[in-house]
Copies of this chain bind each other. A is one copy, B any other.
């Protein structure tokens, strides 16, 4: 790309995201200067999205901008943190104004919703790759670390995991609309929306600080991520097949059994999997009604290591417990 193209790119990001009074110097100098609130910890994450792995070239630019920020918002949500400042490292083969406008709009809309300012970045010429770094704040002491779970803690998940993978399957033509079988345009639109514009559970993460012992964001598959939480806590985890929250739309298109498998192993859901000590459960369900906050009890932590799923009291066999990004799905 020419210098002119780099200047073009910069133009799209000058007023991207929220305006914040704690940004002393934002885009335009060698680095951003930011005012941290006293008595809070800084919470920092970085995530990358790559063409052919996390998205395909024909996906809407707004979706790519949304998701590039959402994955980081979800990381901060899992720490019970309030997001504040983003840096964007954007590597592009060419500067397409239409694409840049869409990307910036998708990114900016989600950033404003969560009061996130874009404070700096770097644009580079090369194979399509997007890294977003997000910082935010959380009160001391640290809570909801992956390592905070104890045997007996109840395991919950927000939302309906698997929907994102269902939406991707429509994008890739693996699922198709078929009204006689109950797969309507509405079902397809819902699942596509869940893939392209996932909802990071920032507000839920903030509220869970008062109840949860541990938390992880579900981006690589619920079973695998619950297993990571359990391992970090020195525990194992047992999930109950019957309690897995598959959406009616996912069930309509995939059937009951495949839908629950997708709940367990789908990727890029950006839901929260969290554990709550038994003595906190009733208070949480009273103060954060699950009907309003959309979470479901799905299992329990135990002393024995491992991550397993039971069905009618019997341990099920799963050969794949993790989701290796979208490599398989996108390249298929």
Residues on A lying within 8 angstroms of B by beta carbon are 1-3, 6, 24-25, 28-36, 38, 41-54, 74-76, 78-79, 81, 85, 87-89, 91, 119-122, 124-129, 131, 133, 135, 138, 142, 145-147, 215-217, 232, 322, 324-325, 327
Q: B45 to A31, Cβ gap below 8 A?
A: yes
Min distance, Cβ A252 to any Cβ of chain B, angstroms: 31
Q: B325 to A50, Cβ gap below 8 A?
A: no
Chain B residues, CB < 8 A from A31 = 43-45, 75-76, 78-79, 81
Min distance, Cβ A110 to any Cβ of chain B, angstroms: 17
Chain B residues, CB < 8 A from A145 = 25, 29
Bound form: Cα–Cα A126–B55 in Å: 12
Q: Which of B24, B42, B87, B120 contacts A142 (CB 8 A)?
A: B24
Min distance, Cβ A328 to any Cβ of chain B, angstroms: 11
Chain B residues, CB < 8 A from A324 = 1-3, 6, 125
Chain B residues, CB < 8 A from A74 = 30
Q: Which of B53, B85, B119, B122 contacts A124 (CB 8 A)?
A: B53
Bound form: Cα–Cα A53–B215 in Å: 40
Min distance, Cβ A85 to any Cβ of chain B, angstroms: 7
Residue in A42, A50, A76, A120 whose Cβ sees the most chain B Cβ within 10 Å: A42
Q: A48 to B327, Cβ gap below 8 A?
A: no
**A124-B44 contact given A31-B75, A142-B25, CB 8 Å threshold:** no
Q: B32 to A43, Cβ gap below 8 A?
A: yes
Min distance, Cβ A27 to any Cβ of chain B, angstroms: 11
Residue on B nearest A124 in the bound complex, by CB: B48
Residue in A30, A81, A127 whose Cβ sees the most chain B Cβ within 10 Å: A30
Residue on B nearest A81 in the bound complex, by CB: B31
Chain B residues, CB < 8 A from A126 = 48, 50-53, 127, 129
Min distance, Cβ A12 to any Cβ of chain B, angstroms: 17
Bound form: Cα–Cα A81–B122 in Å: 19
